[in-house]
Amino acid sequence: MPKTAEGGSEDQLIKEGDIAGDYLERLLDILDYDGDIDLDVEAGRAIVSIDGGEDLARLVGEKGAALESLQELTRLAVQQASGNRSRLMLDIAGWRQGRRDELTELGTRTAEEVKETGTPARLRPMTPFERKVVHDAVAAVKGVSSESEGEEPRRQVVVFRDK
């Protein structure tokens, strides 16, 4: 069985995605929402996407809050069915990808400003997903670094120029 970067087998991650897809399909049926469920495996985690329905924005919620909650419920359903803790990521109506693009631009722009001015920048509190995207964007800019500070839910990224 091929192993992924995180140590889980691709077959195991596909199984997690299938469990999650079944769980989410039942949820959509209960809500009477339309949506197409797609599974992918990327960077050692199962990624489940729901696209196509008009009502899906309601499942994202304000600033992705409902999406985060639904992702946690889906992870719990997978864990209950498989016995394994899941790192599954859920995206609905492309919200995470759009958010990823915005955060990549924010991280890159902030890193360039810090590199130029030398003044550290503290960004607003973010979810773990959001912080990871910003850290990745900052890491792509030479001469600056980032770290997370604070406690959840007020944890935030700080960008500073390398010494």
- 22 and 79 share one domain: yes
Average pLDDT, the chain: 92
Answer yes or no: is pLDDT of 159 > 80.
yes
Indicate if the pLDDT at residue 53 is higher than 90: no
Which of 93, 108, 139 corresponds to the end of one domain?
93
From 68, 93, 118, give the residue that closes a domain.
93
For residues 87 and 15, membership in a common domain is answered with yes
Domain limit, last residue, from 93, 116, 151? 93
- CB-neighbour burial class of residue 134 (10 A; exposed 0-12, middle 13-18, buried 19+): buried
pLDDT, tens only, 70-88: 999 999 999 999 999 999 9
Range of the domain at 17: 10-93
Q: How confident is the model at residue 2 (pLDDT cuts 50, 70, 90)?
A: very low
Mean local confidence (pLDDT), 98-125: 97
What pTM did the predictor assign?
Answer: 0.79
Contacts 24+ apart (CB under 8 A), 85-89: 86/16, 86/20, 86/46, 87/6, 87/44, 87/45, 87/46, 88/16, 88/17, 88/20, 88/45, 88/46, 88/47, 88/48, 89/45, 89/46, 89/47, 89/48, 89/129
Tokens of 118: 């030398």
3 in a domain, yes or no?
Answer: no
Residues 109 and 34 in one domain: no
